[in-house]
Structure 1
Amino acid sequence: MANRKNKYPMGVALGISFGTAIGVITGDLALWLSLGIAIGAGMDANKQRTCFNKKEG
């Protein structure tokens, strides 16, 4: 269980943090929380793809 790696750990955490902060400020928490999670997951997926491409070449 200790060797299990999460796919989207850091980006999603940052997305939740920033999405919550912006959502509270603007008054539309649901929208910004959703956008924050989506952007964070996209950042992590892009980072993983870059790491994968470096291993191939």
Structure 2
Amino acid sequence: MVKRDGNGGGNGPGNGDVAVGISVGTAIGVALGLTVFDNIALGIGVGMALGIALGSARRSRREPPGGSRGER
């Protein structure tokens, strides 16, 4: 087994924020696509972009300065 060092993956605190942002953004994007844009694919793209941005912003607010999991 290979030991991984760094920021990738894992189940530490805050790693699910971007995933939740993608799923919520996709749901909101479908609604926007049906009502505003009249194009579901365009709405999903806009919703995912907003969800990723909000999820990563939420994650960055919860992490201490200097990275996650106490890295130095």
Q: TM-score, normalised by structure 2?
A: 0.60
Runs of 4+ aligned structure 1 residues displaced above 4 Å come to none
Query: SS at the partner of 2:18?
Result: coil
The equivalences for 1:1-57 within 5 A come to: 4=11, 5-6=15-16, 8-26=18-36, 27-52=38-63, 55-56=64-65
Where do 5+ consecutive residues of structure 1 fail to align? none
Larger RCO: Structure 1 or Structure 2 (Cα < 8 Å, ≥ 6 residues apart)?
1
The number of residue pairs the alignment matches comes to 52
Q: Percent identity?
A: 19
Where do 5+ consecutive residues of structure 2 fail to align? 1-9, 66-72
Q: TM-score, normalised by structure 1?
A: 0.72
State the distance in 2 between where 1:44 and 1:6 align: 8
